């Protein structure tokens, strides 16, 4: 049984490492290779699996070389793909990802024909088989029926499952966002996406979300620190002494660490420290195109000398 089940949101990232961003019209650059990896919510569930949780995706992937490669990568990472449906002949949702030498990046999305942003038949029964579900703001852009995910979140919450909402920076309908804020018990933000709460500042955003019934709110700050708040405590952890470069995988490492600590029922301060360690361990683009750290790399920064335990 998965500890965490991400609802749809799977894309396939085609990554091109280039020399510099931003791009300039009329100027030519050569990419230093091309990497194809499972994207969208896949890096989050991959990072959850690396930290030791059972994680899976309930959704669709295309019946093409991109989709087959993504499925194989998820399986190799120990992610549960039992509920990942591949419609015959369908194309995958793709993201063209340009990454420069400093880790800055640009996404370009291409919607395929695999899902239309819906959920596979029988999804209601699958909710009974997990401890928590994840709903991403990107589903609003991907789906023709985004309110399906609001209903799924409500059903999960009513059945005692955890509901995790990651709004991201998608320009979604405020009513859709509000419905998920009111339904979710874990809300994961960053400084850029916190504005979608409709509050004048970060502290007010936290107050608003906790007042709506959230059990945990975490905000990754631009300077590298974070705020983690529960109804019982609110902590602000500064960035480590060594500067953190925000790069591909930073958000997923942070969010996975927060969710890991939450499911382990850790106090807010310990959850925040693990999240900062996960962000600090997220490296530059590696030869296989995957920037996510291993569990041992995270724990070496979180609790030096204690090994990969938690």
Over residues 108-120, the pLDDT tens digits come to 888 888 876 678 8
Average pLDDT of the chain is 89
Q: 245 pLDDT exceeds 70?
A: no
Highest mean pLDDT among 100-104, 108-112, 159-163, 280-284: 159-163
User: What sign results for the dihedral spanned by CA atoms 145, 147, 150, 156?
Assistant: negative
In the block, tokens 């974070």 appear at 226
Rounded to a whole number, what is the largest CA-CA distance in the chain? 56
64 or 123, higher pLDDT: 64
Lowest mean pLDDT of 9-18, 123-132, 252-261, 282-291, name the range.
282-291
- Cα–Cα dist 221/75, whole Å: 32
DSSP summary character for residue 3 = S
**pLDDT reported for residue 284:** 58
Query: Using DSSP, how many helices (H) and how many strands (E) does the chain show?
Result: 10, 13
- Cα–Cα dist 93/100, whole Å: 23
Over residues 50-75, the pLDDT tens digits come to 999 999 999 999 999 999 999 999 99
Lowest mean pLDDT of 20-29, 116-125, 232-241, name the range.
116-125
CATH C-level class of 10-23+31-124: alpha beta
Give the Å distances, CA to CA, from 265 to 258, 261, 270, 306: 11, 6, 10, 20
Report residue 246's pLDDT band, with 50, 70 and 90 as the boundaries.
low
Q: Is the pTM of this model over 0.85?
A: yes
Over residues 126-168, the pLDDT tens digits come to 888 899 999 999 888 888 889 999 999 999 999 999 999 999 8
Report residue 299's pLDDT band, with 50, 70 and 90 as the boundaries.
very high
CA end-to-end span of the chain, whole Å? Answer: 21
- Cα–Cα dist 249/92, whole Å: 21
Over residues 70-88, the pLDDT tens digits come to 999 999 999 999 999 999 9
In the block, tokens 């850790």 appear at 266
**pLDDT reported for residue 307:** 46
For residues 288-295, average pLDDT? 79
183 three-class SS? helix
Q: 257 pLDDT exceeds 80?
A: yes
Report residue 308's pLDDT band, with 50, 70 and 90 as the boundaries.
very low
DSSP summary character for residue 263 = H
The phi, psi pair for 186, rounded to 5°, reads: -130, 125
**pLDDT reported for residue 248:** 65
Contact 50, 77 (CB under 8 A): yes
**pLDDT reported for residue 134:** 97
- Cα–Cα dist 182/268, whole Å: 21
Q: 287 pLDDT exceeds 80?
A: no
179 or 247, higher pLDDT: 179
Report residue 101's pLDDT band, with 50, 70 and 90 as the boundaries.
confident
Give the Å distances, CA to CA, from 275 to 18, 33, 178, 259: 29, 31, 26, 9
Q: 181 pLDDT exceeds 60?
A: yes
């Amino acid at each position: 049984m998965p500890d965490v089940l991400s609802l749809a949101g799977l894309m396939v990232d085609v990554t091109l490492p280039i020399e510099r961003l931003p791009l300039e019209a009329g100027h030519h650059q050569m990419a230093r290779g091309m990497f194809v990896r499972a994207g969208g919510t896949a890096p989050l569930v991959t990072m959850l699996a690396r930290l030791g949780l059972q994680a899976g995706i309930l959704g669709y992937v295309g019946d093409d070389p991109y989709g087959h490669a993504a499925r194989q990568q998820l399986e190799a990472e120990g992610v549960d793909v039992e509920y990942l449906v591949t419609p015959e002949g369908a194309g995958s949702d793709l993201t063209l990802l340009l990454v420069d030498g400093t880790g800055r990046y640009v996404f370009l999305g291409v919607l395929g024909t695999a899902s239309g942003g819906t959920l596979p038949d029988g999804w209601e029964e699958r909710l009974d088989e997990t401890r928590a579900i994840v709903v991403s703001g990107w589903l609003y852009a991907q789906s023709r029926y985004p309110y399906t995910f609001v209903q799924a979140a409500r059903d999960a919450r009513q059945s005692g499952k955890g509901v995790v909402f990651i709004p991201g920076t998608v320009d979604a309908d405020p009513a859709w966002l509000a419905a998920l804020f009111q339904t979710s018990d874990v809300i994961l933000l960053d400084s850029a996406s916190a504005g979608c709460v409709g509050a004048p500042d970060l502290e007010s955003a936290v107050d608003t979300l906790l007042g709506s019934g959230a059990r945990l709110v975490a905000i990754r700050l631009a300077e590298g620190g974070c705020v983690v708040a529960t109804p019982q405590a609110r902590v602000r952890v500064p960035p480590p002494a060594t500067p953190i470069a925000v790069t591909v995988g930073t958000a997923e490492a942070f969010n996975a660490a927060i969710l890991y600590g939450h499911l382990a029922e850790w106090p807010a301060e310990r959850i925040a420290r693990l999240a900062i360690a996960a962000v600090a361990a997220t490296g530059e683009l590696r030869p296989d195109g995957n920037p996510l750290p291993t569990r041992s790399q995270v724990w070496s920064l979180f609790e030096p000398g204690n090994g990969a335990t938690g």
